[in-house]
Structure 1
Amino acid sequence: MTGFLGLIVLTVGCSSNAEGQSEGRRRPNGGQWARQGLGNWGAEEVVPVEVARPFRADLESFVFGNANIEALRDVEIIARVNGQLETLPVEEGDLVRQGQVLAELEKSELKLNLQEVSARRENNRSIYDRSRKMLEQELTSQELVDKSKYDFETAQTQYERAKLNLEYAAITAPFTGIITSRLVDRGDMIRVNTVLFKLADTEKLLIRLFVPEKDMARIQLANKARIECEMLPGRMFSGLVDMISPVVDAATGTIKVTVRVTEGTGSLKPGMFCSVYILIETHQDALVISRRALIPETEVPEVFVVDDSAVVHRKRLTLGISQGDTLEVLKGLSESDQVVVIGQENIHEGSRTRISFAGADSTAAEVPAAPQAQPDWKNKTGGKAGAWRKPQ
């Protein structure tokens, strides 16, 4: 009996010891095995994240808009007399100079009319001169003299009109420009006010933008603008703000801003669709980060920063201007901070991390967001502004 009780005690003791050893290998969170090397029970898992340090760059703030390029002067050239179109020396796309003949109407009838009214004028001049002399000799009345004067002046007016009509038979360019449209052919019968050509001054181009009224106070006359056209990819052109409408369109809540093209008129053409970036302000040597570093869905801008012990801390930021995905940091960070740019959703204040440095390709902030007037624009580190710099 004594031996039997001893066996029971021994069995219970071994079972209790085995359970203790088994429980010692379990984590308190539902039986999951603890990770090797984490030490105490319940140690938090190390989370891999990518970090990058803030860097210095010149940032520019823009007001953006889209519109079609227009010629400063774009007119329809019309016929001012009737006649058959006899000569047509120009075609669409031709560059013409001010005063150059664009077309001529048949002039025979106009010349005959001028000769007729010229003869009538001279006859009436003679009658008027004679009547004045006769009045001096009291051989006629003042009434007849006045009538002869009226007839002469009427004939003079008819002569001037006939002379002008003959000049109008030669249609000339009112200014130097490009023939954008020719609407008639040689031999056509032309009537007064028929549109013959459309002429545009392509050396003086403008773009009319409609921007939100909230930007009205930010835009000033002579602000620089950068212009990019879909038809000329990779090329940038320059402009200046020339006019700002003082009136807000109540229907759209926008104001009209006119940008004058100052560079690139040889390549840009009326009708081209373009994007315009009006430069509002420039901050040089600004401390910047990528927009992707911000913690999502926060009321104020915040980021996660990893300290030298690989522990996460939450920092609140004061931001300045932005350019594309690049944000200016006015307060809250320094160039030595290691800012989390990938993995924010898996960490919180106090998390332990295993960091790797984000490459330039994966964290590019895309500075500048607008086309550059100078293609070789660089930041102070010598690289493209907006590329994240690997911590040293």
Structure 2
Amino acid sequence: MSILRNRRLLAGASALAALIVAVAGYRHFTSNEAPPHLTASVERADLEDAVLAVGTLYAHRQVDVGAQVSGQLKSLKVQLGDPVREGQVLAEIDPTLLEHALGQAQAAARSLLAQRAATDARLRQAALALERERQLWAREATSREALERAEAQWQVERADLSELDARCNGARIEVDKARANAGYTRIVAPMSGHVVAIVTRQGQTVIAEQQAPVILKLADLDTMTVKAQVSEADVLRVEPGERVHFTVLGDPDTRYEGTVRAIEPAPQDFAEPSPTGGGGSSAGGSSRGGAAVFYNALFEVPNPEHRLRISMTAQVSIVQGAAKGTLVVPASALGAKGADGAVAVRVLTGDGRVDTRQVRIGMNNQVKAQVLEGLSEGERVIVGQAPADDTAGHAGEEG
């Protein structure tokens, strides 16, 4: 009797275990019939494909104003930020020594002119003496030696006059040079613009024998040049004439626009001396060591209010293409590309099924992609798989 009861208990326990397994399996398989997906809607939006770069602002025209003569900077007539006009006096170097040098050159020139006048008089006298000797020689009233001596004296005086003419010309050149040097003590603006840097202060002594020392820097801030650093991976996509826009860090809500003027043919640090002393740039040689290479794309932008300043950082977009109100999907929804160029995209249908479509894609900026054919507005495309611990209620709603 006890054996029969044990068998019944064992059979009941086995049946209960089988029921539990069956219920668990049913719940497992039924809950995973439609696994949760992350989806996004096919929508209309403005799309732009652009090469992104970081740029630096420069004045379109900038010049270093230097001193051509040595001396003490006697006065500085402008301050940092002042507007100046072309030809305006900016500074003055003490002219005392240079004015004395001009006076000495003028005195030397006057001395040579006096010597020339005396030599010219002797030449005329020698010419008269030679003429008398020739007349006497014609009447056989003088000796050949006297005639030859008169001719030689005339030639000597004529040669001396030619030498003095040359020396007088040299003296005039020295006077002009000394006058110019004296004039260089007044430093004038070579262009209109603003004083953007003062390098030499009033009272300092400048030495101009080896190179022209910089007194100050002028820049025309009405137009700014942007040098956008384009990576070597993108530079082949950029062409002169393409539209470009940028913002600056201090005013991200204002967008400035321009047109690419040129792309520099060599990397931005190509002109820097090579660390090996070979005369070329380290970026242009085999010693680059895998460092990133950037090329400057140049464009100008008006700056009438002078809000843009030198050395500001610009977040630049060089536009490769744009479309208004086009169908777009997230780039993460794109699958493998087929031989005919179509891209596989998984679509979540209204009844919960997953349908794979072959879609024609246009622009793709790696965030959004333009849909040319194969999808309709409002359809939902799968962009990823939801985490396993998400409930069914979270499935399917991204973007």
Are residue 258 (structure 1) and residue 246 (structure 2) matched?
Answer: no
Residues 27, 42 of structure 1: 8 Å contact kept = no
Are residue 144 (structure 1) and residue 170 (structure 2) matched?
Answer: no
How far off its partner does 1:284 sit?
A: 4.1
TM-score between the two structures when normalised by the length of structure 2: 0.70
Give the Cα separation in 1 of the matches to 2:207 and 2:13: 114
Q: Residue by residue, what CA displacement relative to the aligned partner does 1:284-339 show, whole Å, maximum 9, x if unpaired?
A: 443211234457xx788644322232222234545332336212234442224222
Alignment-derived partner of residue 307 in structure 2 = 267
Are residue 32 (structure 1) and residue 29 (structure 2) matched?
Answer: no
Residues 263, 297 of structure 2: 8 Å contact kept = yes
Give the Cα separation in 1 of the matches to 2:350 and 2:34: 15
Are residue 195 (structure 1) and residue 234 (structure 2) matched?
Answer: no
Q: 1:108 to 1:27 in 2, by over 3 A?
A: same
Q: Residue by residue, what CA displacement relative to the aligned partner does 1:119-168 show, whole Å, maximum 9, x if unpaired?
A: 43344345445645764662652211112202211210111011101110
Give the Cα separation in 2 of the matches to 1:194 and 1:259: 29
Q: In the alignment, residue 327 of structure 1 is paired with which amino acid?
A: A
Alignment-derived partner of residue 349 in structure 1 = none
**Which of 239-248 and 99-108 deviates more?**
239-248
Partner of residue 251 from structure 2, selected from 214, 219, 232: 232
Alignment-derived partner of residue 80 in structure 1 = 68
Q: 1:164 to 1:292 in 2, by over 3 A?
A: same
Specify the structure having the higher radius of gyration (Cα): 2
How far off its partner does 1:100 sit?
A: 1.6
Q: Residue by residue, what CA displacement relative to the aligned partner does 1:231-251 show, whole Å, maximum 9, x if unpaired?
A: 333222223212223457564
Are residue 309 (structure 1) and residue 351 (structure 2) matched?
Answer: yes
Q: 1:83 to 1:19 in 2, by over 3 A?
A: closer
Alignment-derived partner of residue 362 in structure 2 = 320
User: Equivalent residue of 1:181, what SS?
Assistant: strand
Give aligned pairs, total.
337
Give the Cα separation in 1 of the matches to 2:200 and 2:178: 25
Residues 241, 257 of structure 1: 8 Å contact kept = no
**Which of 244-253 and 82-91 deviates more?**
244-253
Alignment-derived partner of residue 94 in structure 2 = 106
Correspondence 1:313-352 to 2 at 5 A: 313-323=355-365, 325-341=367-383, 343-344=385-386
Correspondence 1:164-243 to 2 at 5 A: 164-192=180-208, 193-243=212-262
Higher relative contact order (CA 8 A, sep 6+): 2
Alignment-derived partner of residue 274 in structure 2 = none
Are residue 55 (structure 1) and residue 43 (structure 2) matched?
Answer: yes
Alignment-derived partner of residue 138 in structure 2 = none
Give the Cα separation in 1 of the matches to 2:356 and 2:258: 44
Structure 2, unaligned runs of 5 or more: 129-153, 268-283
Alignment-derived partner of residue 136 in structure 2 = none
How far off its partner does 1:89 sit?
A: 1.4
How far off its partner does 1:171 sit?
A: 1.0
How far off its partner does 1:224 sit?
A: 1.5
Q: In the alignment, residue 320 of structure 1 is paired with which amino acid?
A: G
Q: In the alignment, residue 328 of structure 1 is paired with which amino acid?
A: Q
Please identify runs of 4+ aligned residues in structure 1 that moved more than 6 A: 14-22, 353-357
Q: Residue by residue, what CA displacement relative to the aligned partner does 1:63-109 show, whole Å, maximum 9, x if unpaired?
A: 12223222334433222112222211112222222222111112233
Structure 1, unaligned runs of 5 or more: 347-352, 364-392
Give the Cα separation in 2 of the matches to 1:128 and 1:229: 71
Q: 1:230 to 1:121 in 2, by over 3 A?
A: same
Q: In the alignment, residue 319 of structure 1 is paired with which amino acid?
A: I
Q: 1:143 to 1:274 in 2, by over 3 A?
A: same
Q: In the alignment, residue 76 of structure 2 is paired with which amino acid?
A: L
Alignment-derived partner of residue 370 in structure 1 = none
**Which of 219-228 and 250-259 deviates more?**
250-259
Residues 79, 171 of structure 1: 8 Å contact kept = yes
Give the Cα separation in 2 of the matches to 1:99 and 1:172: 5
Q: In the alignment, residue 182 of structure 2 is paired with which amino acid?
A: L
TM-score between the two structures when normalised by the length of structure 1: 0.71
Give the Cα separation in 1 of the matches to 2:393 and 2:337: 28
Q: Residue by residue, what CA displacement relative to the aligned partner does 1:11-59 show, whole Å, maximum 9, x if unpaired?
A: 97x9989977985x6564xx51745xx9xx8575554556443122332
Are residue 279 (structure 1) and residue 315 (structure 2) matched?
Answer: no
Q: 1:46 to 1:282 in 2, by over 3 A?
A: closer
Residues 245, 255 of structure 1: 8 Å contact kept = no
